[in-house]
């Protein structure tokens, strides 16, 4: 019994002591550093994006499939007309995606235009002023666009006809840093998509 | 030596080792509790003998890791040496005269040697790895377009890794690898791309209708959290496997979630959201479940959280008038504002942050040592610099 304990302690002591005994001698006084920094970076991803990446279907989500966004492929090949609905750009309060009462007339006008042109679709762009952080603004811009899409659906426009893009604070119409500019930048723009 | 003496010696050795390891564990816990953000005094050191670039690197690196430069008679440590062809230097404890480090570097460049020396000083004094050889990714904004850039943590050796003439956002590293996820509008939609920096190959990781942004890779690299709006109601938090399969929705709120980040144990995802009228930080189990608010007492409008690699702190932006960098204990509690700025990202050392600072009409990156509150700007790269992510 005693002998086993001694042996165990001895082995333990050796195991702990060995690494600190400095078995390996360092080369005399010089620390050589490798010439290449680790992890070189290849040239910017040039021509195209590889098709390899697996992308799950942006598909049905059960209860949300009624409001869920239509696939991007359903908008492919359509031409953008920024002028057609430019007069109806909706403006938002700071940090809000609520469509103000005073702006709802514009939504109705857009709905009417879409009713008159049944082959068209709609791109809704959401934008923010610079007084938010960037990713927060990217999400807020999207919520503004979705808010307008919902408002249009309430006016009878099919959800499948509309897609949203948020630009966060990346695309101001007015680059100045004052209340007037900020108010102009907090907006949702309607871009008519032609077949 | 007879058997009894040997037994006694071995038993004593064993007991001593066991007691020492217990004491060390206790000391580590005490040091951790003592870190009050912004209230730690920097370690006073005096530099001598270095010139030019080597001196600049030593001063920069040490400053942002909690050292301050003082006359020798006030210093706790002396750092002396030269950089004629190569950097050589010593770190000496001024009070008891012991030499803690004596180094003679060769190879690479003077700059790399100086970074290495600074790292070894940090390791000797703070007992944590230095950050001198680490990297950041960032967004460079040219006005109409923006691109992703990778640089040394101090802004040197910048390399544009995209050339798409469109908009980008939110670069995020794959832990331990030279690969990024980021948001790109190259395909006329905000999509999340995966980019292998070594080969330059890119694939579309998430191109669902609506918004795809704010990718965040789990610490084990197996999952990616992101913000998607394909549900048509609002941007919500989703997670998928890193091969794109197995998409799960983690939040289902009528408001917008943003900026997910992972706890270092991979169990939680922290993000910004709204509860009622208030903007808050919250967390949700990565495997799904109810979201819980993370209290950030004393500040308002938190966003852009980042969880420290040691698990103890969450750094974030608090927007109150201007933007402020704040930290809060990871379980929530009293937040501490440290400096004006936004969008912080932790270094691997869990003490230095890189963040964005608005100066006039421009954006630059800056570094902050959280314990001492010492800050240093990074020289501007090409355009406006923002959305930094520290490779960990």
In the prediction, which pLDDT does B189 show?
97
Contact state of B211 with A142 under an 8 Å Cβ cutoff: yes
What stretch of H or E contains A151? helix A134-154
Question: Which one of B194, B208, B316 makes the best mutation probe of the A interface by having the most chain A beta carbons within 10 Å?
Answer: B208
pLDDT number for residue B17: 61
What pLDDT, in 10s, does the model give residues B136-158?
999 999 999 999 999 999 999 99
Residue numbers in A near B133 (CB within 8 A): 37
Average pLDDT over residues A149-157: 97
**pLDDT recorded at residue A22:** 46
Task: Output the six-digit token pair for A129.
Answer: 């002023």
Residue scoring higher pLDDT (A67 or A28):
A67
* Residue-averaged pLDDT of chain A: 82
For A163, which residue in chain B has the nearest alpha carbon? B210
Does the reported pTM lie above 0.90? no
E strands, B266-351, in order: 268-275, 278-285, 292-294, 296-297, 302-307, 313-320, 322-329, 333-334, 336-340, 342-346
The per-residue pLDDT for range B116-141, each reduced to its tens digit, is: 999 999 999 999 999 999 999 999 99
Q: With an 8 Å Cβ cutoff, are A45 and B202 in contact?
A: yes
Between A56 and B280, where is the model more confident? B280
Inspect the interface and report whether the beta carbons of A6 and B7 lie closer than 8 Å: yes
Chain B residue with Cα closest to A55 = B244
* Rounded-to-integer distance, Cα A25 and Cα B301, Å: 56
Q: For residues B376 and B367, is the Cβ–Cβ distance under 8 A?
A: yes
Output phi, psi for B49, to 5 deg: 95, -15
> Is the pLDDT reported for residue B198 higher than 50?
yes
Give yes or no for residue A8 having a pLDDT over 70.
no
**Cα–Cα distance measured from residue A125 to residue A145, given in angstroms and rounded to the nearest whole number:** 6
Inter-chain residue contact A166 with B190, CB threshold 8 Å: yes
* ipTM, interface predicted TM-score of the complex: 0.88
Contact B327, B314 (CB under 8 A): yes
Assess whether pLDDT exceeds 90 at residue A3. Answer: no
Burial (0-12, 13-18, 19+ Cβ within 10 Å), B166: middle
- Interface touch A43/B204, C-beta < 8 Å: no
Q: pLDDT tens digits, residue range B282-301? A: 999 999 999 999 999 999 99
Average the pLDDT over each of A78-82, B31-35, B232-236 and give the range with the smallest value.
B31-35
Compute CA B300 distance to the chain's CA centroid, rounded to the nearest angstrom: 23
Q: How far is B141 from chain A (nearest CA, A)?
A: 9
In the predicted structure, residue B26 carries a pLDDT above the cut 60: no
Helix axes A104-116, A134-154, angle to 10 degrees: 60
Question: What contacts B351, CB < 8 A, 6 or more positions away?
Answer: B65, B66, B128, B369, B370, B371
- Kindly state the helix (H) or strand (E) to which residue A108 belongs, with its residue range: helix A104-116
Q: Is the CB of residue B89 less than 8 Å from the CB of residue B48?
A: no
| Per-residue pLDDT at A85 | 98
Output the pLDDT for position A4: 67
Instruction: Tell me what percent of the residues of chain B surpass a pLDDT of 70.
Output: 92
Which one of B233, B282, B392 makes the best mutation probe of the A interface by having the most chain A beta carbons within 10 Å?
Answer: B233
- CA distance to partner chain A, nearest, from residue B194 (Å): 8
**Phi, psi of A117, rounded to the nearest 5 degrees:** -130, 75
pLDDT confidence tier of residue A34, bands split at 50, 70 and 90:
confident
Which residues of chain B are within 8 Å of residue A146 when distances are taken between CB atoms?
210, 229, 232-234
Residue A183 has pLDDT above 50, yes or no: yes
What is the full DSSP assignment across B142-166? -SS-EEEEEEETTS-S-EE----SS
Q: How confident is the model at residue B371 (pLDDT cuts 50, 70, 90)?
A: very high
The string of pLDDT tens digits covering residues B200-230 is: 999 999 999 999 999 999 999 999 999 999 9
B49 in Cβ contact with B84 (< 8 Å): no
Which among A49, A59, A78 is the top mutation candidate for probing chain B, defined by the most B β-carbons within 10 Å of its own β-carbon?
A: A49
pLDDT, position A47: 40
Q: What is the pLDDT of residue A7?
A: 61
Q: Which helix (H) or strand (E) holds B88?
A: strand B88-93
> What tokens were used for B151?
């640089």
- Are A144 and A126 a contacting pair, CB within 8 Å? yes
- Do B231 and A69 count as a contact with CB atoms less than 8 A apart? yes
Q: Is the pLDDT of residue A25 over 70?
A: no
**How far apart are the C-alpha atoms of A2 and B335, rounded to whole Å?**
57
The arithmetic mean of pLDDT across residues B264-271, rounded, is: 98
Contacts of A144 in chain B (CB under 8 A): none
Chain A residues lying within 8 Å of B113, measured CB to CB: 33
Pairwise CB contact (< 8 Å): A44 & B243: no
pLDDT band at B360 (very low <50, low <70, confident <90, very high): confident
> What's the gap in Å between the CA of B41 and the closest CA on chain A?
31
């Amino acid at each position: 019994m005693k002998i086993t304990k001694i042996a165990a302690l001895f082995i333990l002591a050796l195991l702990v002591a060995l690494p600190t005994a400095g078995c390996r001698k360092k080369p005399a006084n010089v620390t050589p550093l490798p010439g290449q920094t680790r992890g070189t970076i290849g040239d910017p991803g040039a021509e195209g994006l590889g098709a390899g990446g697996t992308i799950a279907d942006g598909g049905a989500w059960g209860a949300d499939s009624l409001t869920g966004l239509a696939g991007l492929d359903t908008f492919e090949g359509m031409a953008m007309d920024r002028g057609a609905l430019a007069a109806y750009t909706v403006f938002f309060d700071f940090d809000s995606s609520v469509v103000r009462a005073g702006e709802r007339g514009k939504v109705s006008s857009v709905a009417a235009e879409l009713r008159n042109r049944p082959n068209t679709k709609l791109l809704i762009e959401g934008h923010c002023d610079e007084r938010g952080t960037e990713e927060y603004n990217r999400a807020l811009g999207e919520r503004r666009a979705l808010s307008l899409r919902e408002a249009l659906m309430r006016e009878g426009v099919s959800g499948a006809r509309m897609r949203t893009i948020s630009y966060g604070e990346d695309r101001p119409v007015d680059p100045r840093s004052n209340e007037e500019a900020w108010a102009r930048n907090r907006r949702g723009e309607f871009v008519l998509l032609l077949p | 030596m007879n058997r009894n003496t040997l037994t006694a010696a071995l038993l004593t050795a064993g007991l001593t080792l066991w007691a020492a390891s217990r004491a060390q564990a206790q000391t580590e816990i005490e040091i951790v509790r003592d870190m009050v953000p912004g209230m730690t005094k920097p370690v006073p050191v005096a530099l001598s003998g270095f010139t030019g670039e080597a001196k600049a690197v030593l001063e920069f690196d040490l400053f942002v890791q909690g050292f301050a430069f003082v006359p020798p008679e006030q210093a706790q440590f002396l750092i002396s040496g030269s950089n004629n062809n190569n950097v050589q230097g010593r770190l000496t404890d001024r009070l008891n005269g012991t030499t803690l480090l004596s180094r003679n570097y060769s190879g690479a460049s003077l700059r790399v040697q100086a970074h290495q020396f600074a790292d070894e000083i940090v390791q000797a004094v703070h007992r944590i790895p230095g950050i001198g050889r680490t990297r950041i990714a960032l967004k460079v904004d040219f006005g109409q377009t923006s691109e992703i850039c990778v640089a040394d943590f101090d802004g040197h050796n910048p390399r544009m890794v995209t050339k798409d003439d469109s908009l980008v956002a939110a670069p995020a590293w794959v832990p331990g690898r030279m690969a990024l996820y980021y948001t790109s509008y190259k395909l006329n939609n905000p999509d999340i791309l995966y980019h292998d920096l070594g080969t330059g190959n890119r694939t579309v990781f998430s191109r669902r209708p609506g918004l795809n942004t704010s990718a965040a890779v789990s610490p084990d690299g197996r999952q990616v959290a992101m913000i998607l709006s394909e549900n048509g109601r609002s941007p919500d938090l989703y997670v998928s496997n890193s091969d794109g399969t197995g998409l799960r929705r983690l939040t289902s709120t009528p408001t917008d979630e943003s900026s997910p980040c992972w706890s270092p144990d991979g169990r939680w995802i922290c993000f910004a959201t709204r509860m009622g009228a208030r903007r808050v930080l919250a967390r949700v189990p990565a495997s799904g479940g109810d979201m819980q608010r993370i209290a950030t007492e004393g500040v308002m409008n938190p966003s852009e959280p980042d969880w420290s690699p040691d698990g103890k702190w969450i750094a974030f932006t608090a927007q109150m008038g201007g933007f402020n960098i704040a930290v809060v204990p990871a379980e929530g509690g009293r937040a501490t504002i440290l400096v004006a700025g936004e969008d912080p990202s932790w270094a691997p050392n869990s003490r230095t942050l890189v963040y964005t600072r608005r100066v006039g009409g421009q954006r630059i990156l800056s570094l902050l040592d959280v314990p001492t509150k010492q800050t240093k700007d990074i020289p501007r790269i090409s355009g406006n610099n923002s959305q930094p992510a520290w490779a960990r």
